[in-house]
Structure 1
């Protein structure tokens, strides 16, 4: 694989347009395969006992079932029609590994003990698809209380988390890098009480995602961007909603800029510190996108929420306009979000691959 946003930073060149179209083709192929996998998995979801999960323990001290997170994932049998939840409990520690949840292993929960003492760390950059510390290809995935870091630094794209499957939820996680921290790639996703940190386009992608009560921290010294949403047509469902969130940081940052021509981002009931640039939004060097993007704010507050100098092509949403963005219906969450299991079974003994 290997699509790159490098070309997108050169929006006025023919090479940029060619590379952008290449990205769309690759992304659409992957979305199609994900939809097929998700439909197969969803057919058996009604038979799953969501209160009970098979427990797999990861502990670097050797007192668990596995020493590494990826070993625990590989021990789970592939099954698109999985009728069993798996709960991987990661004991406190620093786990230096690159982790992938494959598409044929749905209904996994990956849980740290606390984000402040359970770390998944890798150091890789440049390629937006190959660099992620944690990549999710499986549907119905849940992540809890885990810090996910890419420590590549400021030299280029370095993804900490790539969510590339439908129905993924993240609770109380810390997600940090510098550029392209969170590749919110495709599918319906939910983030609650998460801390997300970066400088350039640090929440980007084509997903339909609801961020609720999350803390977004910008490291940009001068006019970076929090979001780069990639919606490419007026009929595409995707978009990012930030509900009851908080924006802090240093320097200055835009709320978003359009990776796709129909980029859609809404902030509602959110606190903006003075790190938010007065203009609010950036056109990414292409004035034609002003006519197609959907950038909205609704009842936000704080020194950065003053809309006096906002770009005219952003919206102060009315009550009616905001309604569609203010609940889990935006991601169909009432149909797939599930509580944490309350009962656990011992994992059957098996050797990792």
Structure 2
């Protein structure tokens, strides 16, 4: 009987973990028709990289869903212009909080890593997740540029219209979020950085229940014209801005 005790305990632990990841706020199963990305390849018919999954998105007018299974994906991802709407959903046990996210897209790339011979769209080369398509919703995804204090190094760039970014976590140092176009809403999301870490001056950027962590001072948060800054302030609701000392 003692021999089977550890096995029984393991069964209870697994059952407990599964029950904790159920309910209306859990997203653990890809919806029908979704393109699935799984770094382990365990999910049948899935792709091992996010870029491979993006390459399979429909170029027709129909809507698409990209479902990402748990994992750390070390790559640059570019979503090209699509004719239909796109939903990107990261695996999570709780859609209401970025702290429960289990999917991360990350890499380290800064301006000084790009050859001097490249003179156009240099910011795009540094970007970890580049969204060129319009009508995109992203849920429960961590996006990071880990280049550090070495110059411009963008985690996410939005370069189309109509974005909804929900319970996502964006981390970097300089120019973490490049909001080139819009409108865009970041809800229940986290964005950190130190130098101009939200920039682009879309004039239509909404932050709702968002957490902004500035490693230096408030005036380093936005890099845009005074007129644009005032416009953005009018759209912000319930923003928590935390100033901390970089370690």
- TM bucket normalised to smaller: 0.7 to 0.9
3-state secondary structure, aligned to 1:60: coil
1:171-186, aligned counterparts within 5 Å?
171-186=166-181
3-state secondary structure, aligned to 1:201: coil
Report if aligned partners of 2:211, 2:240 keep a CA contact under 8 Å in 1.
yes
Match of 2:33 among 22, 41, 54: 54
Q: Deviations over 1:224-258 (max 9, x none)?
A: 5111135889xxx9745321010112249xxxxxx
Q: TM-score, normalised by structure 1?
A: 0.51
Question: Deviation at 1:63?
Answer: 2.2
Report if aligned partners of 1:106, 1:141 keep a CA contact under 8 Å in 2.
no
Match of 1:199 among 191, 194, 198: 194
Match of 1:89 among 67, 74, 87: 67
Report if aligned partners of 1:121, 1:151 keep a CA contact under 8 Å in 2.
yes
Q: TM-score, normalised by structure 2?
A: 0.72
User: What CA distance in whole angstroms lies between the structure 1 residues aligned with 2:40 and 2:154?
Assistant: 28
User: What CA distance in whole angstroms lies between the structure 2 residues aligned with 1:68 and 1:122?
Assistant: 13
Question: Deviation at 1:124?
Answer: 0.7
Gaps of 5+ in 1: 1-51, 253-353
Question: Deviation at 1:54?
Answer: 2.8
Report if aligned partners of 1:231, 1:239 keep a CA contact under 8 Å in 2.
no
Match of 1:213 among 209, 213, 222: 209
Pairwise CA RMSD: 2.3
Runs of 4+ aligned residues of structure 1 deviating over 4 Å after TM superposition are: 230-233
Match of 1:243 among 231, 237, 241: 237
Structure 1 residue 103 and structure 2 residue 98: aligned?
A: no
1:1-353, aligned counterparts within 5 Å?
54-64=33-43, 65-79=46-60, 82=61, 84-114=62-92, 115=98, 116-126=101-111, 127-207=122-202, 208-220=204-216, 225-230=220-225, 239=232, 241-251=235-245
Gaps of 5+ in 2: 1-30, 93-97, 112-121
User: What CA distance in whole angstroms lies between the structure 2 residues aligned with 1:239 and 1:136?
Assistant: 21
User: What CA distance in whole angstroms lies between the structure 2 residues aligned with 1:72 and 1:231?
Assistant: 40
User: What CA distance in whole angstroms lies between the structure 2 residues aligned with 1:134 and 1:152?
Assistant: 14
User: What CA distance in whole angstroms lies between the structure 2 residues aligned with 1:190 and 1:248?
Assistant: 20
3-state secondary structure, aligned to 1:143: strand
Report if aligned partners of 1:229, 1:239 keep a CA contact under 8 Å in 2.
no
Report if aligned partners of 1:142, 1:169 keep a CA contact under 8 Å in 2.
yes
